[in-house]
Structure 1
Amino acid sequence: MDVIKRARLLSGDVVDIGIDDKKIVCLGECRGEEIIDADKKLVLPPYFNMHFHLDSVFLQSKNKSGTLWEGIQIWRDIKEKLTEDDVIKRALVAVKLMVAYGTLWIRTHVDVTEKELRLLKAILKVKEQVKEIADIQVTAFPQDGVYTDKGNDELLYKSVEIGADNVGMIPHNELTREDGVKSVELAFKIAKEFNKDVDGHVDETDDPNSRYLEVVAKKTIENNWYNRVTAGHVTAMHSWDRAYRFRILPVIAKAGITVVPNPLINAVLQGRFDEYPKRRGLAPIKEMISQGVNVALGHDCIMDPWYPLGAGNMLQVLFMAIHLDQLTGYDELNSSINLITYNAAKAWKVEYGIDLGKKANLLITDADDIIDLIRFLEPPKYVIKDGKIVAKDGKYILFNGKWEEVKKRP
């Protein structure tokens, strides 16, 4: 049995953690071969990135206006020219960087309005290549909309047939309200046919009249797809009047829909038509949680046509969310870690946590508590997946059986 000595858990208890056959077999005073002395520092389960775009990562196009619309145009100009090898090369760097910062679960949206589906095929290969260090779910994402161009609905079907894990949608990007509703209906039709979860970009706009989340909730309930639906962004929620949010959020909670804000990118993409004050670009996390909605966070982008920054560090995402939604009360700060851990695990439906019999997936940090973890945003000293150390100090990663330095960009 391998033993991690003196680990401080989220509860504050200091225990030894015994690992055997990839699982936690001892919590307390454990005897075996000491592999790490945690020195009473915080040890917690690894992070989730519940919304990302591996196909566009590190495409450092110069978006001069910094807007969503220029980013979309840049992406349209280049996506048909990308090769599988290029997509794989960039995505591998991003995955390794995220793992080094403590993320072991990554849900990525892949544009399937690219006619040859090269992007999807490339990311499916990446998913297989990195399975020893990270678990990836691939969402078939109709970036340009389903009914905006002939054949996009067929591409969405085909994407699920060849291996996408989740069915995506972007109803607010369709040309009419009616087409937006039809795109939601299509997503559920495909999901039921292939027994897949639904994971959509929903209401990513400042327009208070964009209310497709209510359609998603209705279709979730009608199709009995409870706890199998994720709605990404939902930035329009910050523009909905409070009475409407008060009415609709309990329905979202009832349907078991997880809402995934992406605070880094939406803080800079939203509010572009505002003077001052500018909207924050964040669905109201505190209000959603108070109404029983499951909320998790996504990183969304790293150095792509929409976002020029990003390090792959989910603590950076959490840090931004805490500031934008003022989650700075003592209890709020300590529970905020759930936004990138336990809440996300609930949506992913994966065995998770530091408990006897569960898989030994652990982060050994240099922080004394959650507040210091968030203050300093440091990578874990060790990242452990299935009982094996796969990353150290944010600098080194074990890939294909060999240790290598983590690249910050391709």
Structure 2
Amino acid sequence: MTAGVPLTPAFVRGVLRLEPTARGVAPHRLPAWALAQAADPQLSMVEAQGAGVRIALRTAATSVTLTAHRTRVTYAGAPARPDGSIDLVVDGEVVRRTRTSGGTTTELDMVTGQPTVIPGDDLVATFDGLPTRVKDVEIWLPHNETLEIIEVTADAPVTESPLVGRRWLHHGSSISQGSNAARPTGTWPAVAARLGGVELQNLGFGGAALLDPFVARVMRDTPADLLSVALGINLVNSDLMRLRAFRAGLHGFLDTIRDGHPSTPLLVVTPLHCRIHEATPGPGAFDTEAIAEGRLAFMATGDPAEVPAGRLTLESIRTETARLVAERQAADPHLFLLDGLTLYGAADEAAHPLRDALHPDAETHRFIGERFAQHVFTHGPFTS
């Protein structure tokens, strides 16, 4: 007997929208109206990538199959990116992993910006040999690729899997999305969520954690028991605003979230250590010398002499965020601050350098997630 898994939000977790396509459904982590307001190809690309998105079901099936079509972006002249990972979790334990393949690849020329589209086949990922008992099964989609779900089938009936715990809604940058993590269950929010026993909804968007009002409204309107925002690095490397606008923007962002969640624990995380932007403003840029050597790396191009005039750095964002949160805490006892340097500081960079000068590697994602769980779920503001 073969049972089809309904492609609905009850079974596809971590999404805010399931878009019908010619093949099946495309998971999205933002609603269509938010993307229309952004009008930003970068955000449109990354919000459709499956960070925190998983297919969850309860079943006695011994075989589950996912058929999907992936879309990925690569960079001409840079080292080939590894294929994405699909992780199988059974009763809370990661038990299997398979690589993605085929699909549609867009290769970007980093000098001209011109794309080359390379078509490919659908992928079929079958997980056989599962225990015969009734169990909770999760198929975690790649955090850094887009998968259109064509179908999911099992060899026994399926029902909805219950939530694992409280609902944690988190917003951040590519670091929160999981850039350079090796697998979807290995991004630092996924690591922290598993250790904290919570149900993750990841609104980490590569290059797009920019204090956008529509993201605050999405967070306002999304059910959650725990809320967190990790803001700073994209504001610096995009050179989007000056200190005066940052103050008002962060106040407004938090005000909007509080309109829908007036007493939900809300954690503000200041930036992790990133040497190139600690005291040097953006904009960030590709390091052309590294690319010439076959490496993908980033650099800061701003002038530190302009910081007194309001150009943002990670140092100035940490200082202002701490001041602003302390100010608001007088009237908001459920607002909390976490210094990002406790998760990844200068000493950590010496031992675990950012290989592209911007993003943690797989091992670093793991210990950032473990530290977050220790500081926030075990002893901190999200203690149950």
Where on the TM-score scale, by shorter chain, does this alignment land: which range? 0.3 to 0.5
Higher strand content, 1 or 2? 2
Higher helix content, 1 or 2? 1
The normalised TM-score by structure 1 is 0.32
The normalised TM-score by structure 2 is 0.34
